[in-house]
Amino acid sequence: MKKTNLKKKSIKLKVYYYDTDKMGVVYHSNYLKWMEMARTEYFRDVFPYKSMEELGFILPVKTLNIDYIDSAKYDDEIEVFAKIEEINNIKIRFSYEMYDSKNVLKAKAETVNVFVDNDGNLKRISDELLEKLTK
């Protein structure tokens, strides 16, 4: 697996009432949505998902690990950082960190995404595409 020195990229978002439970705490599955948003934005400048799909690739999550550190709450401003930690022709390992506006770590996570075809079969990307993804 190729290690990378890619920079972290981030998105900023606001916690809305519908993201929370009755106590005003963000419901756990919203963090997964935020990670997906950050991953999508990460690729937008490098090689957009739409371009990957046009080449016959999709990138589902194979594994997910998340540590909830401190509850995000209603009306918090959250910044979600995404970074590719390792990549090869068949999978990508991302790390994520989610902070509030006071720089308090709310959660950290990792996903492994795999390249598959439209039928869900593993499909290796070319070395050229791998090179584009690691620039």
Instruction: Return the sign of the alpha-carbon dihedral for residues 65, 70, 72, 78.
Output: negative
What phi and psi, each to the nearest 5 degrees, are found at residue 35? -65, -40
Beta strand ranges found along the chain (DSSP E) = 2-3, 9-14, 61-68, 77-87, 91-100, 105-114
Indicate if 119 belongs to the active site. no
Q: Using alpha carbons only, how large is the chain's radius of gyration in Å?
A: 16
Catalytic residue among 21, 70, 75, 117: 21
- Select from 39, 14, 31 the least CA-distant residue to 108: 31
3-state helix, strand, coil in the chain (%, to 5): 25, 40, 35
The catalytic residues are 21
